[in-house]
Structure 1
């Protein structure tokens, strides 16, 4: 037997075994990943409802919680400690009743009490409502398991189909094996080994006009899909962290200030108004995050109205100035007029806040930040100028990318999640504007927003 046939026969056996292991691992990874994602989301939704009800446990809140779930794929049932049903988002069938009657032993973090997707009709979680140290009620969340069963059947069919195709290609490869195709087969084997170890970002030659090229394309597509799912989960969690941190910090800070006993009535009223405004912004932010979770990528709804951009920026500066003062960084506002634009004031305020927050993070004590509004021929210019550490020239094209941070090793307290500038850029572009940056190491950075004087959409 020729050496090529010997190598081909040996490689065929190894390839078939390897493909079996890879497909099984990929099948289990995809299925388990989806199950884990859905069950964790189920527990999270239950905990969110639990948190709302712990703050205000009354009939109206119970009604709102049930109403929220009526349009979702999940179902909610709220019971008292004696399993009496207080409110539900849909009719309760016998299988749900069986779960409701199960003996449970839960912590305040909420737990999954039904995870058997093969034999049971629902995934189920429970989150206890604790008020004044006592169990008041339970929030049960249900998710139909049929989508996992369908996904399981589909994955098995796909694996069988791909396996059959792979087997045919392997047999043909052995028959017509030559040195010219031995090397790419070995490279493909190494790639599938990387996939089995969880390395999803792979690269193969997909330009071949034969079965090897088709197999390379299938493996590459599969690895890209796994990588995309992993990246989107991380981006979503980072979005939540970045977007909620700033308003929560200000609410907490101004709450402590408003509690000082020596404050005058007017001062306390001023701080309480700021807290109320930040709470309103936070509520809107949470609504956007729920909407974001249903989308494939980040999108913002823009509600435009004519506002004074000058007054809007002054308001943002007043809100954030205590943070600058505590770090001993000056914050000044310079404008040559009172300009009005048709914009979404909350979104543009969010952009200014992101830019000021970044400027503060990278400014040392004793330096200053200037917000400047000026008029040009076709645009209104809004500039945030700092005297901070600056950005390396080679990094400037990448600072708008999601999750990109100039200093990879620095902490989130200084570097953030790497989403702020990406969000700011998207908001500005949705207003038909443009945001640019100039920077010099050791001298500072200037962020410039160019807004059309007439904004149309």
Structure 2
């Protein structure tokens, strides 16, 4: 368990390092994305503002009845250039702002050609366009108008014996243009400030994350060191990590484990010492009697009496070893074996009493037994009752009383004897805790452990005369 917790902590540290690297990568990624989006948003806003200014100078809702009126209506906005085209009998012709003759613009022929192609292909009333001219972007809006009298005819007088020409003006086109500023210092300064601000933000986030990571990893490192000490069976040093977060909960859990392991270690050492002492006594008795018999000596006067002592101590040793082995099996019973079934405790008590009848004939036995059913292991309940009844026989003076009843909420099994009072009932069910007539101090410990496994509890208390052991099943 300790090694498992140590492995979990090391894994948490590895995961934390990976998270830090992942977080750093995510911050850089989103920083680049944010900068790109801000630049794109600025450019979109800037271009949208140019188109808005161009469209504000088109007056697409105005009505014109004359070409001269249409051309001379243009505003005097020196930052915006305006060009005009008219369709004469389906032929597209460009007109000058100041006079009606065709002029040559400062724009190159290639640019004029692109604009005229856009005019010819345009079906909307107004549309935005842009393209690069020698690395500089040109923005323009083409807006088409129709004369208020689309069928108005213009008659050109007959000159030089040529026939009279009738001209029909159908559609007028205004093109408002604006160049992207050649000096982009403001834009570059803005982008550099944005990049600097974003960089400083990333650095600040990383610094905060670094100290936050240290705040999280330092207690994990300390906890890892403590777990390593526990894995080496060094349970004396407490874990002192006072936090109210998940790490604090983990530290408190490990501290509880340390205390339990320390307690268990002390119990194991005490048990080992007690077991050694309990085994040493019968072995020494047997060994001494055997040595005496070899020399022809009889410590109890006769050979038969001396051999009876050896037999008694052998039986005591055998029972002690059996109980010790059975205690080792209790942990397995508690975690693995679950042969619990519905049994009648009355039948178990009657069976045990019947088997121990010869010993009980020396006492005044009184039984008051009801049918009480509980879920438990039959063999384990038999051992519980045998140990308790043996304890009553050992300490009773004249009377033993067994009561089994059910009060509607709980079931009770009581063993009463009229013997001496118990000096300390709190330590009665501890391992190797023996009374005046006790043998090994394991019987009542086994009783308590088996009842814990089968959902029962046991207590003992002194009466005005005698002692009562009480088992309860909820």
Q: TM-score normalized by structure 1? A: 0.35
Q: TM-score normalized by structure 2? A: 0.34
